Structure 1
Amino acid sequence: MKLRIKWKQHLKTIIAFLLIVAVCGAIVVVSGIAPIAASSGHWEITKWFLNFSKERAVATHSMMIEVPDLDVQSKIVQGAGHYEIGCLQCHGSPGKEPPRVVSLMTPKPPDIASIVPDREPQELFYIVKHGIMLTGMPAWPSQQRDDEVWSVVAFLLKYPQLSETEYQQLALGDFEKQSAQTIEGVADDALTVPHEVIESCAGCHGVDGKGRELGVFPKLAGQNEAYMIATLKAYQEDHRHSGTMEPVAGRIDEKIIEEVSQYYSQLKTGDATISSAETEENREAIARGQKIATNGIPQQNVPSCVDCHPTSRTPFNNAYPTLNGQYADYLELQLNLFKQRKRGGTKSANLMHAVVDHMQTEQMQDVSLYYQSLKGGE
């Protein structure tokens, strides 16, 4: 009985203490005396508590994430391309300090080279994909595209060892941002390269629209203008998913969309993407892909591809993409994203779901190789 009475007395004391703390907290908040100025920084104990909480949360939530093969040059280059347009502004790059205004943020964005060696790949993935509350670190703009997030992680793992020159090569290749550039178009006339292409597109897709000869960046040279306009608008409206492209498309207006689309549609497509040696090596797969593209797979309810994506360079009268000479890796990825319902796209994108749902992985590879083997003008 005495123990019960003592326990009740202790409970009343605890409740009273908590009520006092709550009232004091409410007074501080309502009165507005609690500092929120970034210029004041955090108290050391606050900084420790927030850091400790962050470390434990990242470690716990990344525990079961499976890490794919990240030592792939195309992934590293793709990640570098996103870093150049999406991360450099806060974190800087080798040989380039972040803007002064960033140093006045609370907390200040960390130096990537110093923190990456202490992180596991799955931890980097969790941070890049989900961001961190109250730090200015945003979540990945498209939560459906883990493949893009892993490319950024692949790049970050290489970042601490990069020189300024090596970084520039990964992020931009041989491209240099210069105004008043021109390039020869299909009509053998000199096309003026739009400013937006120089600033936002060429680092990944190239001034020539050939995607830096890497399967992670699609070729845009000779692409259907109507399709590109519809696609950029789909990125703007969050109908097509990409954490890299959505922010880029989101900041340009309709006039620029039309200008960029018209420019790339007028470029020469060049030769087939793969060499004759590669064609010989994959000739059986290409032959199977040609059969699928031409006749479909009737027994699997898969229609032919050429009805919407003809292999001859006929005038475009729809908003479907031309696939001739496109990278097989890129095409295969798109087919898989359609199948997983993670791609999105224009108003016609849902037509692809019924197609890919009945296709096997090898069949998607074959038809991708077939389209890659075609010259843009054939």
Structure 2
Amino acid sequence: MAAFAAAGVLGAAGAAAFVWFGVYDVSATGPHLQPVHSLLEIALQRAVQRRSDAHPPPRDLLTRERVMQGAACFRDRCVACHGAPGVAPQAFSLGMQPVPSSLVEATRHWRPQDLYWITRNGIKMSGMPAWEYRLEEGELWAIVAFLDALPLMTPDQYRTLTASPEQSPEQSSEKTPEKSSASVGKVEGVAAARCDGIVDAPAPLVPPLATVELAQRAFRQHGCTACHTIPGVVGPDTSNGPRLSGLAGRDRIGGKAFPTEDGLTAWIRDPQAIDAHNAMPTLGVSETQARLMARYLLSH
């Protein structure tokens, strides 16, 4: 037992030294070592599979309307990083490490509930964001339905299906896509759906989170920790903005808003409308989420 304990201490010390002296290259110009890459892949698969069964797919997942809506969401939210048939990812995504994968074969490796979970929750340290606060529940499942149709979709079919709602059929590159598969056959016409609304309240979590945990998640998902240190919320050591503690005892917030739930909610939702000269941007936070955040801050 003593030998095992000594080995554990030495291993921990070695790992600490490995980190402290900056041995591992974290630059995006160099890939992970193959063992690290393989370990992360296994961790990803096991973690998703353990959690995704709490979100079974709708029985009518593969409807024409859902795939059409998913096409619009994919066009507006996903193609920049993942590309599409005949469409390259934007240049910035090609410099990410790991490079965002093509989703043409996503359904070969993941079940519908897996794809939903990944889209909703994102993946740490991969660049994949969580869309929980930016897409409605129906839109999340619509993307999953679209991914089912993607493998047999030609570039012309993709361009037609994802033509902007403002475009006329003559402005799209081709006419209605041919029915080359059962899935693609369901997606006739030009996509008219949009994915530009503010999510007022994300779908309930399984298992449910406490109100405090929901508020902490809202701060992280709206990027508040990029500029502010917030009590109880894990984030970087930053001083870009003031520390958000003791707000209830202040005379004003940002020199303008009153430290009440209504005042702080209004400030969180649209600080530029209250003071156009302050540096805090308007982030598109919904009323529900802003009130949740305001109550949290006023109690800490």
TM-score, normalization by structure 2? 0.55
The aligned counterpart of 2:22 is: 32
Instruction: State how 1:1-378 maps to structure 2 within 5 Å.
Output: 11-68=1-58, 69-142=60-133, 145-172=136-163, 175-176=166-167, 235=198, 240=200
One-letter code aligned to 1:133: K
Q: Alpha-carbon deviation of 1:115?
A: 2.6
Q: Alpha-carbon deviation of 1:59?
A: 1.5
More helix by share: 1
Contact in 2 for aligned 1:80/1:155 (Cα 8 Å): yes
Alpha-carbon separation, structure 2, partners of 1:172 and 1:59: 34
One-letter code aligned to 1:83: F
Contact in 2 for aligned 1:144/1:241 (Cα 8 Å): no
Alpha-carbon separation, structure 1, partners of 2:65 and 2:146: 10
One-letter code aligned to 2:39: F
Give the unaligned 5+ runs of structure 2.
169-189, 204-221, 223-285, 289-300
Residues 325-357 of structure 1 show CA distances to partners (whole Å, capped at 9, x for unaligned) of xxxxxxxxxxxxxxxxxxx669xxxxxxxxxxx
Q: Alpha-carbon deviation of 1:51?
A: 0.5
Contact in 1 for aligned 2:81/2:89 (Cα 8 Å): yes
Residues 127-182 of structure 1 show CA distances to partners (whole Å, capped at 9, x for unaligned) of 111111111011114288322210111111111111122212222267449xxxxx
3-state secondary structure, aligned to 1:38: coil
3-state secondary structure, aligned to 1:41: coil
Alpha-carbon separation, structure 2, partners of 1:52 and 1:345: 39
Q: Using a 3 Å threshold, how does the CA distance of structure 1 residues 53 and 144 change in structure 2: closer, same or farther? A: same
The alignment's C-alpha RMSD in Å is 3.2
3-state secondary structure, aligned to 1:82: helix
Q: Using a 3 Å threshold, how does the CA distance of structure 1 residues 213 and 169 change in structure 2: closer, same or farther? A: closer
Contact in 2 for aligned 1:83/1:152 (Cα 8 Å): yes
Q: Alpha-carbon deviation of 1:102?
A: 2.1
Q: Using a 3 Å threshold, how does the CA distance of structure 1 residues 140 and 174 change in structure 2: closer, same or farther? A: closer
Contact in 1 for aligned 2:52/2:113 (Cα 8 Å): yes
Alpha-carbon separation, structure 1, partners of 2:22 and 2:137: 42
Alignment length, in residue pairs? Answer: 186
Q: Alpha-carbon deviation of 1:241?
A: 5.0
Between the aligned residues of both structures, percent identity stands at 26
Residues 37-82 of structure 1 show CA distances to partners (whole Å, capped at 9, x for unaligned) of 1111011111111111111111221124221111212211111111
One-letter code aligned to 1:45: P
Give the unaligned 5+ runs of structure 1.
1-10, 178-211, 219-230, 244-249, 251-343, 347-378
One-letter code aligned to 1:147: G
Alpha-carbon separation, structure 1, partners of 2:17 and 2:57: 48
Ranges of 4+ aligned residues in structure 1 off by more than 3 Å: 173-177, 240-243
Q: Using a 3 Å threshold, how does the CA distance of structure 1 residues 103 and 54 change in structure 2: closer, same or farther? A: same
TM-score, normalization by structure 1? 0.44
